[in-house]
Amino acid sequence: MVRNNFTGNNRIMSRPYQGQHPHGAILDTLEGKLRINGQEGVVIVKHNYGGEGASIQNVANDPEAYLGSVTVMFQREGYDPDNNNWFWAKYLADGSFDTNPAGMPLVGRVAKGMPGGCIACHTGAPGGDRVFINDRY
């Protein structure tokens, strides 16, 4: 993701917009194709901003000052057909995986069946593709 400028110091930044829980007060979403371990798929990367003073303008001017986490959806053929083959991950601003209250890293299918987890929430996305920003997948 760093090599393709979806994350990291030289990342592409879209126009920040108003967000909501659980992602953050302000969001910046990128979408494209990515090849990981020889498998190409759609990737959706959401930069989640918050904290005191977070606003669309302040995040646009100084994104690193407000970055709380990065959430990723990567569609891998055959990975999880029940959930449109999405692989899920939530990284903290320092690049480490976030964890659930039991200490499990929020990566892969770990959120399946968890109240408030990625899959549980995204099951309600319009269009049935687990994606809220569009209905393309």
Sorted by where each begins, the domain ranges of the chain are: 17-108
What DSSP state is assigned to residue 2?
T
Phi, psi at 18, each rounded to 5°: -65, 130
- Quick: pLDDT tens for 37-91: 888 999 999 999 999 999 999 999 999 999 999 999 999 999 999 999 999 999 9
Is pTM, for the whole model, over 0.95?
Answer: no
Both tokens of residue 50? Answer: 């918050």
- Answer whether residue 137 shows pLDDT above 90: no
Q: Return d(Cα 130, Cα 91) in angstroms, integer.
A: 19
- Answer whether residue 113 shows pLDDT above 80: no
Report the mean per-residue pLDDT for the chain.
91
Tell me the β-bridge partners of 90.
Answer: 71
Does residue 22 have a cis peptide bond before it, meaning omega lies within 30 degrees of 0?
A: yes
What Å distances lie between residue 106 and 38, 59, 79, 136, CA to CA? 23, 25, 16, 25
Q: What is the mean pLDDT of residues 12-40?
A: 93
Q: Return d(Cα 86, Cα 77) in angstroms, integer.
A: 9
Q: How far is CA 135 from the centre of its chain?
A: 16
> Residue 105 has what pLDDT?
87
Name the band, by pLDDT with cuts 50, 70 and 90, for residue 115: low
Q: What is the mean pLDDT of residues 13-27?
A: 93
